[in-house]
Amino acid sequence: MTQQNTDERPGIAAAIVVHEGRVLMVRRRVSEGQLSWQFPAGEVEPGEPREDAAVRETKEETGLDVAAVKLLGERVHPKTGRLMSYTACEVIAGTAYVADTEELAELAWATRGEIPQYVPYGLFEPVQDYLDSVLPS
């Protein structure tokens, strides 16, 4: 009899929020290994579309109203083993701040050239490709 993987943890939806030539990064209070700076993200609720989860998590964590533009891709994250989806989002209203003080320590708007300072191990290729196409060099 073979053992089946019973890991039914929900996927994680990340929002790639670009505004005025910068991308929104958040720093978690508790790092997941090397992951301290990342994109606004959280668990997808049962029956919730990934894009909607990215929009909801952005509002909960940063107070920013965003709209999903397009799903950039998904993968099993190499550091956490969680299923991740990445959704490009645009700002509709609001000013980003640390809305969820239990989860987030701080946030930053990073230019394309600053991203490696926040995420030194590199980004998921479809996310990097998207940022390369929308952020000034």
Q: Is residue 26 part of a domain?
A: yes
Q: Is residue 22 part of a domain?
A: yes
Q: Which two tokens stand for residue 31?
A: 């790092």
Q: Is residue 74 part of a domain?
A: yes
Q: Is residue 4 part of a domain?
A: no
The arithmetic mean of pLDDT across residues 74-86, rounded, is 92
With cut-offs at 50, 70 and 90, classify the pLDDT of residue 36.
confident
State whether the Cα torsion 133-24-65-27 is positive or negative.
positive
CATH number at 124 reads 3.90.79.10
Q: Which domain holds residue 56?
A: 12-134
Closest CA to 133 of 40, 35, 23: 23
Give me the number of domains the chain comprises: 1
C-alpha dist (Å) from residue 13 to 37, 44, 86, 113, 136? 15, 6, 6, 24, 25
Percent of the chain with pLDDT over 90: 80
Q: Is residue 47 part of a domain?
A: yes
The answer, yes or no, to whether residue 6 has pLDDT greater than 90, is: no
